[in-house]
Amino acid sequence: MDIERLAHEMRCRAIRIEREDGLHQAEIEEAIEQEVKIETQVVYQPTEEQKKLYFNAGRWAGGSRDWNARKAFEQLNKMEA
């Protein structure tokens, strides 16, 4: 077999393998990108009860001294502990 022909065939084969790997790598990167998009789309939505709790606890922390604010603040402290 001619050495130049062998070298040419080996170069062509290397280029084909490199292209295939590049395509596979691009597919993998695209799949990862899709997963990241899906994860960022999932956003935590607090319930109305949780919103009220945070609001009233914030009022207590801000200086308001009524029963609802104090109760909410104490509940949040229990949840964190």
pTM reported for the whole predicted model: 0.45
The residue range of the domain holding 29 is: 1-43
Decide which of 26 and 64 is more confident.
Answer: 64
Contact 76, 57 (CB under 8 A): yes
- 38 with 50, same domain: the answer is no
- In this structure, the answer to whether residues 3 and 31 fall within a common structural domain is yes
**CA–CA dist 70, 81 (Å, integer):** 17
**Other residues' Cβ atoms within 10 Å of the Cβ of residue 75:** 13
pLDDT digits (tens, 9 = 90+) for 9-59: 888 787 777 766 666 667 767 766 776 666 566 667 788 988 999 999 999
Q: Do 23 and 49 belong to one domain?
A: no
Residue 50 shares a structural domain with residue 72: yes
- The domain total for the chain is 2
